[in-house]
Structure 1
């Protein structure tokens, strides 16, 4: 009876081992020293030494590489990896010196399409990875003669089962500066907000980033839409950005007190003005006391 750990290794490593690019009958599988491999130019997908990679390494040690990678000549007897970056890394970690591959002559656009399609169906892909991958495939297909933006976007999304509109939204994210795109990956910014902010100039995006970091805030979809409109009208500036963001922060910190509950602490004869004066006096005393305590605490530290 097979152990659960063995079953897990086989299942979680399936995509890494088998890929999705078809192999023709004329092509031969050859074993190539992994020291001759080069990473695909601008490869947009992460190759992490995480738990899933370790599972793949264990599978490679036990079963070998069940589906060869695809490479193309790089010059001087070396090769550029088109499909199989994770398998390549798994071979390295497993201590293997060679990896089975198919050597295929192909132009840049064909190689780009294969590289994206063999990776895009993974479940753990970040928005930033999809953004750059879809952009690369979109541009490659345009070079190959695909006509019509919507039609090309639909074709780009076919391998992942995504609509042309979804592809276009991901491609827009590639126009974000890297830190804002990181925030989309970390879910500090929604994809919709990121898409809208992508229409801002680089300088305007840097203003937004500075405001977010300084005020410890995020940007809502509605606020991003406002910034996009101001940018389009060439009226966006740092003052507007801070005003919009801080307005939300002030609204979030607004405190509403029950008049009935507050009144229960005062004699019936007290007027509204007298009640407010007492409250503010007590709050001021509390603030001074708090400040004094913080100073005393700070004096005890080195």
Structure 2
């Protein structure tokens, strides 16, 4: 049975291992101003705190923070009695709709919800499903009428719920294997998602060595470099010297490039010249000019 009541803010405790950050930004300030004028209009969702006194916040961490900034001492809450798995699922579902979620937030949220769903599935297999009928190795089972009905596993169910592929969810969960310093770089956009997934296969010690090299050299690996480090790590031969050697290689996007606006040279090319022919002609003319410079310099000595 659910009840709604006003509760002292100091009686509200953040959800344990909550993966979503409450950032002090423009949105939070606007929410604070709204609460100052009208109070908290949408009650927080809480459950009786299983770890001590008061209540554990399942949904409404930003409202709680904004209310505190607004000087409120009490906020309305909906008290719902949920077990740990139900609470995790509700907490994740209430936050995944937020815009601009960081990769780390998605990663830990997907991991927490998937673990909860799998745990719920085990209980279901030993309880409710036992009453329905036996479950077969192909994922099907018999209902109470003896008919074969298909089921899906937790990975597929989560994928459907969040609109991601099973493979993509697995990639996000791989990010939870990254050390905090590298995960922060992913959140800050300094390391691309696909590269971060490859780096997640490095051991914790290897990741700390990699971060030290990146910090010292002020560089990050390309996808091919990350993949090579992953393969060398799997062979047990990745050390700081190998990391230095890989990261010192010049990346294609680090090579100096000269860009010429096509329109500035267009009048000098035949009308039927393709872009490839134009580039080849420019390269040939520059090469001829360079060779002429060498000859002229030789005569002047």
Structure 2 unpaired stretches of 5+: 126-138, 140-151, 259-282
| Cross-structure match for 1:225 | 227
Among candidates 160, 172, 175, match of residue 173 of structure 1: 175
Structure 1 unpaired stretches of 5+: 1-25, 276-302
What do the CA deviations read for 1:171-198 (whole angstroms, capped 9, x no partner)? Answer: 1001000111111111111111111111
Structure 1 distance, partners of 2:207, 2:297, is 56
| Cross-structure match for 1:106 | 82
Structure 1 distance, partners of 2:201, 2:237, is 14
Structure 1 residue 73 and structure 2 residue 101: aligned? no
Structure 1 distance, partners of 2:6, 2:297, is 94
Structure 2 distance, partners of 1:64, 1:192, is 43
Residue 262 of structure 1: CA displacement?
Answer: 4.2
Structure 2 distance, partners of 1:91, 1:173, is 33
Structure 2 distance, partners of 1:186, 1:94, is 29
SS in 2 for 1:70: strand
Residue 65 of structure 1: CA displacement?
Answer: 2.4
| Cross-structure match for 2:274 | none
Structure 2 contact 67–75 (Cα < 8 Å) conserved = yes
SS in 2 for 1:205: helix
Residue 261 of structure 1: CA displacement?
Answer: 4.2
SS in 2 for 1:248: coil
Distance of aligned partners of 1:49 and 1:255 in 2 relative to their CA distance in 1, 3 Å threshold:
closer
Structure 1 distance, partners of 2:201, 2:219, is 20
Residue 144 of structure 1: CA displacement?
Answer: 1.3
Structure 1 contact 153–165 (Cα < 8 Å) conserved = no
Structure 2 distance, partners of 1:250, 1:60, is 52
Among candidates 86, 99, 110, match of residue 62 of structure 2: 86
Residue 248 of structure 1: CA displacement?
Answer: 2.1
| Cross-structure match for 2:144 | none
Residue 159 of structure 1: CA displacement?
Answer: 4.2
Among candidates 193, 205, 208, match of residue 207 of structure 2: 205
Q: Within 5 A, what are the aligned runs for 1:1-302?
A: 26-74=1-49, 77-145=53-121, 151-248=153-250, 252=254, 258-263=286-291, 265=293, 268=296, 270=298
Residue 252 of structure 1: CA displacement?
Answer: 3.8
Structure 1 distance, partners of 2:18, 2:176, is 14
Structure 1 distance, partners of 2:4, 2:232, is 57
Q: RMSD across aligned C-alpha pairs, in angstroms? A: 2.8
Calculate the TM-score normalised by the size of structure 2: 0.74
Structure 2 distance, partners of 1:48, 1:228, is 34
